[in-house]
Structure 1
Amino acid sequence: MSGLQPLGSVDICLVTMPFVDLCRPSIALGLLKSALKSSPYRVSVSYGNLLFAEKVGVERYGLQKFGRQTRLAGDWVFAQAAFPEHVTDTSDFAQQIAQDIRRLAGLDRDPETLNRLAELVLDLRDQATAFVDEMVESVLAQTPRIVACTSVFQQHTASLALLRKLKERDPELITIIGGANCTGVMGVANIESFPWIDVIFSGEADDQFAPLIDHLMRSGLAGLDAACLEGVITKTSAIQLRDVSGKDLPCAFVSDLVTSPQPDYEDYFTTLRQVSYRDQIVPGIPLESSRGCWWGHKCGCTFCGLNGHNMRYRAKRADQVLNEIRSLRQTYGIERIEFVDNILDMGFFDDLLPRLANEPRKFNIFFETKANLTRTQVGRLKAAGVGWIQPGIEALHDQMLKLMNKGTTNAINLQLLKYACEFGLRVIWHVLYRLPGEEDAWHGESAKLVPLLHHLMPPTNFVPVTVQRFSAYHDDPEKYGLKLQVAPGYLDIYPLDVERIGQLAYFFDSNLDYPSAHDRHDGFLALNKAIRDWKRAFANEDAPPILGMRDEGESIFILDTRACATERRFRLEGIQADVLRCCDPALRSERLAPVLAEHHGRRYTESAIAQAVEALRERRLLVEVSGKLLQLAVPGEIPDLPARSTFPGGIDAPPNLAALIGASAKTAVAA
């Protein structure tokens, strides 16, 4: 850090601490800095995540990505700095994190590997404590009157550690923390538990942050409660909120995104240009076109805790989004745009996407969408420069999807995967398990389907559902037969009683331990293996599986290189070709005859249609899912997918674990 160019004197220092990705700036702090542009106050944004990676090395920084989400490895690394009085068995926890890293990275099982990984984790923890001291000096050198940290996921203890030591050094400094880890009851628990915090901001700060800063700069903390700023929690107001229901606790809300400013990312790029590892980072730009979730507002996925208790959906105008994209590219020279929306506004298919398609220079864009997109809509995404989507597929079985309240079907999911393959979009998706009410047989049924899908994008992960605060599972556990307790990582991190930890925690464990080591779950095991085989086959860059079709009118030519193929090349004619054409999108079997007659001018007997369907199923070209028939072949020339290195959200250098373990071993021997 000492080699970085110092920032000048400021009034307000906004800080993002580890652990968050290095390859993109903080949209939260970018928005807050923009919100203060019309104020008379000087503002800086300190990227503590970039600075910590400069201290420990970008590869060591990336170790926390391998930890289990509920293990809270990133928060544990900074726990010693935040709570030096809280003595726990660090060696045991380091071994647990090492187990996570070894398993997720696919390293060998020998004890020496685990010991070396644990050494790395412990060393990272020690360096975190020293780093916080250095960060304190860096912030105080700017002589701010106010320091505000953003806290999402696993950057909470790093933020608490920084603010605690700043307050110890300068008791007159006003300290603020906000972000997802401070929403509602979590915010109240934080300000009551950590006396060095002066103000908690709960919710969306765009509209309220400038008035808050103006009050603090003019009057300090005096009279802040009387100012009645939405989302602001102080020590005195927290006392009054103790008995308020979780859904009624303060949470600021921006009703109209038209007033939301374009984020200012200049501090991020200034810092990135100064760090030694800058050539290892390919940055992306986070941007939002909407907030909330129109599906969540209507029904909501049972496992989702995003947006707190306010799912209300709000979207920007298409021209506003387009102007922001253009401006950000012109300012920072970057065309990678990661939209951080929970879900794409369906209205954008008719206004924003066509306008993006007409841009002379295409952007490289990521969007989260719903899975029920048509072929035309997927084509519009591709034409607009959207090469990556996350459609919330989550399962390959209708009963699992119903348990989740996904509002889709397996047929819809498979259609989307097929359309994405047709247009060359990368799909980020997961298969979830350990849902209340699931049956092992459903996993077995999904496993039987998977070999037919090897030509389509496989899931990124096969993972258990985690219980998140604000989700239906958390808000009404009795309804789902759940008994909840805080994820065990919190107990090793916070010097608080279990009840208080339960108020500030976001992740929870449940009594669902399925699949456990004590029971056989043949369906789960079969699906786990089937997904591994699918990912392995699809990853074969020299010869990835293909199921393609070329329709020449009278005949359809099929190329099938899947392991389950009955023939590599063959031709379909007559009724089989006609039936195949009819089953995209998926179609109920009883609709085949009228559709063939109405749209194709073909009149076949029910018996002939049934025989054709069976023949196509035997060739593994046709499947029956969600009560419908869906043909699996991808039409036309199948385009290449975007390279993984083109992800719009930017690319960090992946940790070279083998090299890190070797370096750790040499250090230990030398010592």
Structure 2
Amino acid sequence: METETDLCIVVPAFDTLNLTPLGTSVLIAACRQRGFRVGAVYASVLMGARIGYELYETICGTLVRKQPGEYIFKPHAYPPETLARIPEGIEHPKMLDLIASVAPAVGPHLDEVVQAIAAKKPRIVGITNMFQQNMSAFAIARRVRAALPDALIVMGGANVTGVMAKALAPIFDCVDYFFDGEADVAFPDFCEAYLRRGERPAGRIVECAPLQNMADSPDADFSDFIAALREQQDAGRLPPELPGYVTYESSRGCWWGAKHHCIFCGLNQASMNFREKGSERVVRELTALDERWDGRPIRTADNIIPNSYFATVLPQLAAMPHPPKLFYEVKANLKEEQVALMRTAGVYSIQPGVESLSTPVLKLMRKGVSAHQNIMLLRSSAKHGMRAGWNLIYGFPGETQQNYRDMLAIFPALVHFRPPDGISEIMIDRFSPNFDDHERLGIPEIKPFEIYRGLYPSDAPLDEIAYHFDGIYTTEFLSDTALVKEFRDSVDHWKHLWLRAQRPLLLLETKASGGGVVIDTRPIAREALSVLSPAAVNALAQLERPRPREGLPEAVAEHLDFLLQRRYVIDHENLLLSVVVRRASAEPNRARVPMMAEASSL
């Protein structure tokens, strides 16, 4: 028997089931703190259970240029007369087959979702909307409007931010209000005004001021999501191990982006201003999550780890015998001692924002790091057994062919580092400098991804609805299609090397005498084992930071030819740098998360 609620939060498909839904769980907690009776319907869970987890997650993870999740719900998001004015949009046979295979499940799914919402008798229905959720969110809104004509229907999320909400509002009149921005306070305030005083905003767009103090954001309440998930797991419809990760937020905004906005980044539209939780709260919450979830990995949603945590949070976690397993996004200029601290503090995986190994290209991106700093970060991560996820992005106005030839020249020496997770030409995302200032940045014209044209009426303002855009331009590198192919093929080769049972190694084992042995299983290796004298080991150590040839100490210079011939040292952009991984001393906390095998073959 359902209990009547004041409001019901709805999470549409296609939102991954492998992560706890952070934003909605924070909103649920914020509304419950105000004394409201809050229900939740996870349409995401119901859809995953209906069509099968693997197929569901395949759709969630599909490239944004294809967006099958949107096309699956498109026929249900519009009235027939509007649908007739929308072109088909997708021509790829595999995508058409995928959509056709799921289509019969959509109608029954929506019936089930609306029935679950109606059973809670809410006065407000709040629907989240991000990534591939536009069509499913509006399909649910249409059905709820018919089933609960007196309920207020509101929507928030990344897909209805800024001008996008204003453009979508006239098309989808089934939604009463759109929340634009961080709604931690604005949404509970809205509920207070309507449910307790009968007041409603004058306009359909509710602009939310950015949260100024992270203390005003409550701990996420995942209980409704877990209950929905467990019901389907107990029935054998979803894998018992879900969710694979618990989500957590310790900060918002980006302290680097507030100073130098990376030109391709469209995040933090609401506020780039950096805000962080206090260290005592973070340690307490992380410890509680770790205990509650029995050591399940915790993925922080932060755009970048707060610098202050290296002096506060991380030392406290490192002092624990069994710290939580953490993922964080970081800036790539971390010092090796910072990487070591993070690893000891339980951070098993990072995303360091490595997007190129060319300093000139990184300058075009406004990344604030050099190629050598990126390589040093990959080396430190391998040494300390930390997974570093990174990508290569190309297509920046001003890049040259030589930038990429220089990278191709060093790739064979770096294959013992974890390869890029992906390689792609830049997308132009709304709210990024490449979008807002595209002409000045060398992109004369931009246009929405073609895939959007099959999702909205022909007279819809796609320039205001779309999030992803193509640029009409070229670069010296893009114009050389053979070089582009060579660059991409080289990365593919690197990735294939890491699919082997024995991944490439370049490891220095030092001896008590001061000498050492280098183990080298890269394809370019001259010898699998090389004995180094104490002087050669010292020369390598002197080159663990980039140095020009000029002015090298004689004790280093006399070993340079040997080190370069063996590709233990690279000469990149007129600077020398060791790429040899020194074996790290064992740390008790590293044993808890066996990422060493993932970061290298040590």
Give TM-score scaled by structure 2 length: 0.92
- The 1:618/1:331 distance shift into structure 2, 3 A limit, reads closer
Judged with a 3 Å threshold, the aligned counterparts in structure 2 of structure 1 residues 544 and 638 are, in CA distance, closer, same or farther, namely: farther
Match of 2:542 in 1: 582
Contact 1:272 1:278 in 2 (8 A): no
Alpha-carbon distance in structure 1 between the residues aligned to 2:3 and 2:50: 22
Work out the CA distance in 1 between the residues paired with 2:5 and 2:321.
Answer: 40
Other structure's SS at 1:458 match? coil
State the SS of the aligned residue for 1:177. Answer: strand
Task: Identify which of structures 1 and 2 has the higher relative contact order when contacts are C-alpha pairs closer than 8 Å and 6+ apart.
Answer: 1
Aligned to 1:58: 53
8 Å CA contact retained: 1:396, 1:410: yes
Please give the alpha-carbon distance, in whole angstroms, between the structure 2 residues aligned to 1:573 and 1:341.
45
Check whether the contact 2:8–2:40 (CA below 8 A) recurs between aligned residues.
yes
* Contact persistence 2:41–2:113 (CA under 8 A): no
- 5+ residue gaps, structure 1: 1-5, 99-113, 226-233, 239-249, 594-603, 648-671
Q: Aligned-pair distance for 1:207?
A: 1.8
1:550 maps to amino acid: E
Aligned residue in 2 for 1:548 = 507
The SS at the match of 2:127 is strand
Asked if 2 retains the 8 angstrom alpha-carbon contact of 1:285 and 1:334, the reply is: no
Match of 1:322 in 2: 283
The code of the aligned residue for 2:229 comes to: L
Matches within 5 A, 1:380-399: 380-399=341-360
Counterpart of 2:488, as a letter, is N
State yes or no: 1:344 paired with 2:301.
no
Whether 1:44 and 2:39 are equivalent positions in the alignment is yes
Question: For the residues of structure 1 that align with 2:46 and 2:596, how far apart are their CA atoms?
Answer: 24
**Match in the other structure for 2:559:** 612
Q: Match for residue 571 of structure 2? A: 624
Contact 1:336 1:364 in 2 (8 A): yes
Q: Which residue of 1 aligns with 2:582?
A: 635
Deviation at 1:534, TM superposition (A): 0.8
Alignment pair present for 1:255 and 2:177: no
Verify: 1:153 aligned to 2:112, yes or no: no
CA apart distance, 1:548? 0.7
Q: Which residue of 2 aligns with 1:215?
A: 193
Measured in 1, the distance between the counterparts of 2:257 and 2:293 equals 34
1:31 aligns with 2:26: yes
User: Are the structure 2 counterparts of residues 294 and 646 from structure 1 closer, same or farther at C-alpha, using a change threshold of 3 Å?
Assistant: farther
Q: Report if aligned partners of 1:486, 1:502 keep a CA contact under 8 Å in 2.
A: yes
Q: Aligned partners of 2:167, 2:551: CA distance in 1, in Å?
A: 58
- Which residue of structure 2 aligns with residue 525 of structure 1? 485
**How far apart, CA to CA, are the structure 1 residues paired with 2:126 and 2:458?**
23
Q: Match for residue 169 of structure 1?
A: 147
In 2, are the aligned partners of 1:91 and 1:122 still within 8 Å (CA)?
no
The 5 A counterparts of 1:359-370 are: 359-370=320-331
Query: Contact 2:317 / 2:323 at 8 angstroms: preserved in 1?
Result: yes
The residue identity in structure 1 corresponding to 2:548 is: R
Who is 1:242 aligned against?
A: none
CA contact (8 A) 1:409 1:626 kept: no
Q: Give 1:509's aligned residue.
A: 470
Residue of structure 2 equivalent to 1:243 = none
Q: Does 1:302 align with 2:280?
A: no
Structure 1 residue 480: Cα displacement: 2.2
* Comparing 30-39 and 277-286, the one that deviates more: 277-286
CA distance in 2, matches of 1:7, 1:631: 64
Aligned ranges for residues 17-416 of structure 1 at < 5 Å? Answer: 17-65=12-60, 67-85=62-80, 86-87=83-84, 93=90, 95-96=91-92, 98=93, 114=94, 118-220=96-198, 222-225=199-202, 234-235=203-204, 250-275=207-232, 276-279=237-240, 281-308=242-269, 310-416=271-377
Please state how far the C-alpha of 1:45 moved relative to its aligned partner.
1.9
Give the drift of 1:473.
Answer: 0.7
Alpha-carbon deviation of 1:119?
A: 2.5
**2:71–2:99 CA contact under 8 A, matched in 1:** no
2-side partners of 1:282 and 1:38: how far apart?
A: 26
Q: Match of 1:621, as an amino acid? A: Y
How far the C-alpha of 1:556 sits from its partner, in A, is 2.6
Shift of 1:51: 0.6
In structure 2, distance between residues paired with 1:121 and 1:59: 15
| Helix, strand or coil at the partner of 2:45 | helix
* CA-CA distance at 1:546 after TM superposition: 0.8
AA of the residue aligned to 2:546: A
After superposition, give the CA deviation of every residue in 1:56-108 in whole Å (9 maximum; x if it has no partner).
Answer: 11122123245321332222221111024324798771x42x5xxxxxxxxxx
CA distance in 2 between partners of 1:278 and 1:318 (Å): 35
2:455 aligned residue: 493
Letter in 2 for 1:346: N
- The answer (yes or no) to whether the contact 1:297–1:312 under 8 Å persists in 2 is yes
Shift of 1:627: 4.0
Aligned length: 586
Aligned mates of 2:596, 2:573 — CA distance in 1? 35
Using the alignment, how far apart are the partners of 1:124 and 1:88 within structure 2?
A: 23
Judging changes above 3 Å, is the alpha-carbon distance between structure 1 residues 66 and 336 closer, same or farther for their aligned structure 2 residues? closer
Q: CA deviation at 1:42?
A: 0.7
CA distance in structure 1 between the aligned counterparts of 2:278 and 2:382, rounded to whole angstroms: 30
Asked if the contact 1:341/1:368 (under 8 Å) is kept, the reply is yes
Mapped to 2, the partners of 1:304 and 1:535 lie a distance apart of 25
1:537 aligns with 2:497: yes
Structure 2: gaps spanning 5 or more residues: none
Per mean C-alpha deviation after superposition, the further-off stretch among 567-576 and 156-165 is 567-576
Change in 2 beyond 3 A, CA 1:89/1:253:
closer
- Distance of 1:515 and 1:136 partners within structure 2: 53
Q: State the 1:564 CA deviation.
A: 0.5
**Further displaced range: 203-212 or 574-583:** 574-583
**Deviation (angstroms), 1:527:** 1.5
Change (3 A) 1:219 1:637: closer
Q: 1:406 and 1:217, CA in 2 relative to 1: closer, same or farther beyond 3 A?
A: same
Q: Which residue of 2 aligns with 1:461?
A: 422
Give the Cα–Cα distance (whole angstroms) in 2 for the partners of residues 403 and 75 of structure 1.
Answer: 34
Call closer, same or farther: CA 1:200–1:320 in 2, change over 3 Å. Answer: same
Corresponding residue for residue 661 of structure 1:
none
Aligned residue for 1:278, secondary structure, equals coil
The alpha-carbon distance between structure 1 residues 72 and 516, as it changes in their structure 2 partners (threshold 3 A), is farther
Q: Distance in 2 between matches of 1:92 and 1:191?
A: 22
CA RMSD of aligned residues (A): 2.6
Match of 2:552 in 1: 592
AA of the residue aligned to 2:193: H
Q: 1:478 to 1:622 in 2, by over 3 A?
A: same
Where does 1:640-655 land on structure 2 (aligned, <5 Å)?
Answer: none
1:643 Cα deviation after fit: 6.6
Give the distance between the partners of 1:340 and 1:472, measured in 2 at CA.
22
- How many Å apart are 1:578 and its aligned residue? 2.7
Code of the residue aligned with 1:623 in structure 2: it is I
Given that 1:339 and 1:367 are in contact with CA atoms closer than 8 Å, whether structure 2 keeps it comes out as yes
Distance 1:290 1:572 in 2: 46
Relative to its length, the structure with more helix (as a share) is 1
2:86/2:458 contact within 8 Å kept:
no
Partners of 2:126 and 2:153 within 8 A in 1: yes
Cα pair distance change 1:140/1:28, threshold 3 Å = same
Indicate how the Cα distance of structure 1 residues 592 and 645 shifts in structure 2: closer, same or farther if over 3 A, else same: closer
Q: CA deviation at 1:149?
A: 1.0
How many Å apart are 1:629 and its aligned residue? 1.6
Would the aligned equivalents of 1:184 and 1:251 in 2 still touch at CA under 8 Å? no
* Structure 1 Cα separation of the partners of residues 303 and 584 of structure 2: 32
Deviation at 1:567, TM superposition (A): 1.4
Shift of 1:547: 0.5
**SS in structure 2 opposite 1:510?**
strand
Q: Is contact 2:27–2:183 with CA below 8 Å preserved after alignment?
A: yes
The residue type paired with residue 206 of structure 1 is: D
